[in-house]
Amino acid sequence: MASPVFNAEKIGNRVIPRDWQPTTELNMQIVYISNRKDIAYETLEYAENLMPFLTEAVFVCPGSQLRDFCFKNRLKVTVMDEAEVLGKDWKRFLKAKDHQFRNCLLRFSLPRLSEIDDEFIMSDDDNRPLAKIPLSFYKSEGKYTGYYFYDLKDWSLRETDYDLGQLETCRILEKGYGTLSYSSHMPQIIHKGLLAETAEVFKDSLALNAPLDEWSAYFNYGQSVYPERFHSPELYKTLCWPPFPSDWKFHVRPDEFFFENFYPMLYESGSIFSDLPTRFDEMSYAEIANKKIERRMSLQNAYEAGNLSFFGKMFFRCRDLAERLPRLKRRLNAMIPSSKRVSMLNYFLGTSCTVRSKRDPNGTKLF
């Protein structure tokens, strides 16, 4: 039996009873927000094959793309107009330019919808499972598991909307909650009522258009107020987060990988996954996943060991200096397309990386 979602008598910001429990449901929805139908379709193929407890996929997308997301898959697919999901917040959403704020506003609107189950998996459209995922990965013994990748107090980057959102979320959370970052770029389990309560607690911040990280707000609030409903936080299990080892140093290093944060540029010519398919392959998905892990972590290890050419060392030294001038760094990054940055990193590492000489039967360089 599903747990109650809303309590008619609110106590402060509470919208669920104090004695709420995770549901005993074995079947789950997965809820995506997306405006990229091709990437979303491929991701859904991975999810329906490797997350056997899923019975429905819900896509929240722009109204102009509703037909594009009506996929014909084994899973039931429900498509929702983001304008209807947002309701009265639609105009705020349209006016906002901050990507982090828009995502939070949209996801904090999900509890209003009867189409969303009391418990569901929340995901980005590019979070792809690499191996079979049992439901116990998310909940067991009447408790949920959340996966974190950083401590917000240690986040120092200031280049993107995401970076500024991490910093602002830390400022908001450290007033009374934990500060782990749960935006681990992997699907996570969500209790609808608790998400509603989280949205209620942080509504004043959103009213000021704060770029709140919805993942971190939800799990830190839940862990702080309802610790008996959660297992201890687990290390994240995401490959390619960060996409490149030069983006930031690991705060915690994943000990295993169950999901890939999919970046199309990593599959472009000359990149580390250029010879691998992006579509799910039922017969060889495990072999392909192992190749991805081996290559990405070889790249990570080579970078951390300092296996750079002279020009590479100079490039990254200049990049590190630019950290003190975030506006300059943003301009430099804007001038260099993502695909070019991939090639540059491959070149700077490859010129002196000893593993570069290894090749697969097709002659592809393995980093």
pLDDT at 351 over 60: no
pLDDT at 77 over 80: yes
Q: Is residue 7 part of a domain?
A: no
CA distance 38 to 41: 5
Domain count, the chain: 2
CA distance 272 to 296: 7
Q: Is residue 251 part of a domain?
A: no
Kindly state whether residues 126 and 77 are assigned to the same domain: yes
Residue range 23-44, pLDDT digits in tens: 777 899 999 999 999 999 999 9
φ, ψ of residue 181 in degrees (nearest 5): -95, 120
Q: How far is CA 171 from the centre of its chain?
A: 21
For a pLDDT cut of 90, what percent of the chain falls above it? 68
* Cβ within 8 Å of residue 250, ≥6 positions away: none
Contact 45, 57 (CB under 8 A): no
CATH number at residue 192: 3.90.550
The label of the residue with tokens 């297992």 reads 231
pLDDT at 348 over 70: no
Q: Is residue 81 part of a domain?
A: yes
Q: Is residue 363 part of a domain?
A: no
Kindly state whether residues 146 and 211 are assigned to the same domain: yes
- Residue where one domain finishes, among candidates 217, 235, 253: 235
Residues of the domain holding 105: 28-235
For a pLDDT cut of 70, what percent of the chain falls above it? 80
Torsion of CA 348, 354, 356, 360, to 10 degrees: -170
Residue 171 three-state SS:
helix
Kindly state whether residues 186 and 282 are assigned to the same domain: no
Kindly state whether residues 177 and 310 are assigned to the same domain: no
Residue 326, token pair as written in the block = 């975030």
Other beta carbons within 10 Å of 301: 14
Q: Is residue 253 part of a domain?
A: no
Instruction: Check residue 109 and give left, alpha or beta (phi > 0: left; psi -120 to 50: alpha).
Output: alpha
Kindly state whether residues 267 and 185 are assigned to the same domain: no
- The per-residue pLDDT for 353 is 36
Give the pLDDT mean for 85-114: 95
